[in-house]
Structure 1
Amino acid sequence: MTTLSAPSDLAAFAEYVREQLGRLAPTFVPEGAADPNDDRIASVEELREGHEEEVAQVRSLQAALFDAGIAWPSGPVEFGGLGLTAAHDAVVEAGLSDLGFPARDALFVGLNIVAPAIRHHAQSQIRADELTALYRGDKIGCQLFSEPGSGSDLASVSTKAVRDGDDWVITGQKVWTSMGHLADVGEALVRTDPTVSKHAGLSMFLVDMHAPGVTVRPIRQMTGGAAFNEVFLDGVRVPDSHRIGELGEGWRVANTSLGSERSTMSGASGPLTPYVLERLSVLVRRLEADADPVHQAQIARTVAAVAAMRAAAGLSAGSWSHQLEPVAGSVLKMLMVRALDEIVRLVQAVLGERLGIDHGEPDTFAWAEFVLGVPALHLAGGTDEIQRNVIAQRGLGLPRP
């Protein structure tokens, strides 16, 4: 665990981060210009075949950030953090992006979905062991929530866990598991009591993804990648010490993970990165779309949607209205997917058939993967319909239909 200290003042912290990243850059930032034949733009986490070297580099980078004390500025000191704020986290993310460090997509689920559940609900020894391992890159995490018969109605999961002495035996199937093929641990929502209401009968466990009985099968997506997976759990034994939260509190733990996922998707680690916006700006100017009255209205809608998302994401925890503060993650996620939709509409309008046919022209067909990936983000972290229900019922107190 790092014993380094860092200044809390944001300006001084930014300088501190620049110094630390400057020391790491020679090891992790590629020399020279990017490969001109690889100008693809992605909107969802993608790791192609032959990714072993890339994943190893990401793990090594995360370990270096941890040892430098900047892997988790907002985290508790006892787990390798600095005890600072989310604004300090954003400073690090911006610095990594500005200096051209490799993207850490493989770590997104573990750091932003699994780790918050462990931090807030797991037993003390699991918190100490697993949070350090996740934030140092020693372990990659995945989320074992959705099932073939339980999509939007997540509380209806049927994967079951049966007590056997000090262990639980888990049997069932999960699907759409991002990074499951890379994961070392998985946060599994399972049914421990089928005799009570569906929400009350759920519990959460941390599963060793290398344990006997775990089978992972990648799912090929229309983007060409295979970041999603089916996961089969066939009598997998998990010690009770790896339960996250109390028995029957799985739904509460799941909401911690989902809330963090929705909020994070609209931040610096989400799909709407400065890189995407820079590439979009270059495209619009190169094609002179900003001077074309046909495209000006869509450009305005895109700018407004991105500005709204950024403004909402920049609010401090106490700045939300009393009604909406508990569901801020859902609000941010809806603003994020709206901004992505507007970008897709703009790209489709200005590129036309060049978006779908590769003529070899730079910065045209490169957007195809981004466009194909955006629909998945209407589902990730809960569908748009679920988000609207959460905002209406939990945030605004409106009655159920």
Structure 2
Amino acid sequence: MSTPTPSLEDFTREALDFVGAHQKRATHDASLEPTYSVLPEKPREVEERELAEALAWRKTTFDAGFGWVDGPGAHGGRDLPPAYADAYRGVERLFDVPDEAYTRFSVGILCPALLEHADPALAAEMLRPLRRTDLVACQLFSEPGAGSDMAAARTRARLDGQEWVVDGQKVWTSGAHYSEVGLLLARTEPGSRRNAGLTAFLIDMDQPGIEVRPIRQMTGGASFSEVFLDGARVPDHRRVGEVGQGWSVIMTTMRFERAVIGTDGGIDLVLLDQLARLARDEGLGEDSATLDALGDILVRGRSAAAMTQEFLARANGGPGPEMSMSKLLLTDNLGRVAQTAHDLLDERMTVRRDPEFAWHQLALSLEGLRIGGGTDEIMRTIVAERVLGLPRTPVPAAAPTKRSL
């Protein structure tokens, strides 16, 4: 007999009781060192502690029935409508829960993509441990010389019996150094071009033939890594989808990634509160130009949030290409936050002294968010072609070679 669906109000009360029994209410502590970076960049000892806390919290929520509110019961979910998942996320924002950035790809991006593309055996093997974070995953898409153009992937995988042997290099991978598995895009058909001949795999990261090297960024942190694959192996049963059909798997994954970024807890509006406090501290709390800038950020942030909620309410089959608009509007509004902070602080924004330097970290880390999940330029192309139905961008003709002259 199926369990009756609780009312949204009863579910929300249940969630409040559960989270409140484990976590403290969120408060603003002015004594803490501020950090406004939109990318996690923390000392290794802090990262290790926060990662352990995040994994423990995900396991607690999963075991209590809140780990996959709108997920299928066969894989540990509760089979509730998406509105219930939104309600639970709203409850968590009221409390100081562990940072979900460490598990965002595994939980919010990879799992729904596997639901669409993994065969039943692979789904049964991977979905529950990924959602409960018994396994943590990373994304192995981008490559040197290709960047956001994933169709230019040159990492190769060749079949050797029941295993694929992988050689190549990936770059800009978040969380590679603590992940157990990676969603890998590799070229499995020699001589294939662009998005043909690509296949997706779930490859074990802790094996001979895989080396992870941190990339030092201009912010001073190293939240991304480059990954070298030299004879690494992945069993054929860890293949996601059919051979040569990896492009559809990757596009689904990117669709969910853009949805996650576009609904990232209203980070622009959270930072707006800190920006308003900065304006008051600078004696510009009543300045008309400053108030105009703050009001513009507020209106844009709330409008984008309402638009995104409407997109999600209509997305019965999962988020569509219109979520690219949500990501664009978020990065644009965060850029306005950073610019307003610069207008208030001027050259003091680049002085290594808190709290001013925290705004400098926002400005620098924002460029990573503009790239992650697809660059702003790619997002605009998707909106133009797939949302507005405008003609596709012409592909430039290849330059003539010397032989053809």
Query: Do these two structures clear the TM 0.5 threshold for a shared fold by scoring above it?
Result: yes
User: Which of the residues 113, 117, 128 maps onto 1:117?
Assistant: 113
Partner residue, 2:213 = 217
Cα distance in 1 for residues equivalent to 2:264 and 2:13: 19
Q: How much is the aligned-residue C-alpha RMSD, in angstroms?
A: 2.4
Partner residue, 1:291 = 286
Cα distance in 2 for residues equivalent to 1:217 and 1:61: 28
Cα distance in 2 for residues equivalent to 1:288 and 1:310: 30
User: Which of the residues 44, 63, 68 maps onto 1:49?
Assistant: 44
Q: Secondary structure at the match of 1:181?
A: helix
Deviations for 1:306-356, whole angstroms, at most 9, x for unmatched residues? 122112111144658xxxx84112111111111111111111112223322
User: Which of the residues 381, 385, 403 maps onto 1:389?
Assistant: 381
Task: Return 4-13 or 88-97, whichever deviates more.
Answer: 4-13
User: Which of the residues 341, 344, 360 maps onto 2:338?
Assistant: 344
Deviation at 1:6, TM superposition (A): 8.5
Counterpart of 1:335, as a letter, is L
Partner residue, 1:372 = 364
| Identity value in percent | 35
TM alignment of 1:79-118, pairs within 5 A? 79-118=75-114
Cα distance in 2 for residues equivalent to 1:390 and 1:32: 39
Partner residue, 2:18 = 20
Partner residue, 1:252 = 248
- Is residue 73 of structure 1 aligned with residue 69 of structure 2? yes
Cα distance in 2 for residues equivalent to 1:281 and 1:74: 36
CA 334–70 in structure 1, closer or farther in 2 if over 3 Å, else same: same
User: Which of the residues 2, 7, 10 maps onto 2:8?
Assistant: 10
Retained in 1: the 8 A contact 2:144–2:171? yes
Counterpart of 1:398, as a letter, is L
Cα distance in 2 for residues equivalent to 1:185 and 1:311: 35
Report the TM-score, using the length of structure 1 for normalisation: 0.90
Q: Secondary structure at the match of 1:378?
A: helix
Q: Secondary structure at the match of 1:291?
A: coil
Counterpart of 2:222, as a letter, is A
Q: Secondary structure at the match of 1:295?
A: helix
Question: Which segments of 5 or more consecutive residues in structure 2 lack a partner in the other structure?
Answer: 395-405
CA 30–185 in structure 1, closer or farther in 2 if over 3 Å, else same: farther
Count of matched residue pairs: 388
Deviations for 1:126-173, whole angstroms, at most 9, x for unmatched residues? 212211111112111100000001113210100011011111111100
Question: Which segments of 5 or more consecutive residues in structure 1 lack a partner in the other structure?
Answer: none
Report the TM-score, using the length of structure 2 for normalisation: 0.89
Counterpart of 2:13, as a letter, is E
Counterpart of 2:117, as a letter, is H
Counterpart of 2:363, as a letter, is V
Task: Return 31-40 or 247-256, whichever deviates more.
Answer: 31-40
Cα distance in 2 for residues equivalent to 1:5 and 1:352: 59
Task: Return 94-103 or 73-82, whichever deviates more.
Answer: 94-103
Cα distance in 2 for residues equivalent to 1:346 and 1:60: 38
Cα distance in 1 for residues equivalent to 2:314 and 2:276: 31
Retained in 2: the 8 A contact 1:160–1:190? yes
Deviation at 1:373, TM superposition (A): 0.8
Deviation at 1:83, TM superposition (A): 1.2
Partner residue, 2:158 = 162
CA 32–115 in structure 1, closer or farther in 2 if over 3 Å, else same: closer
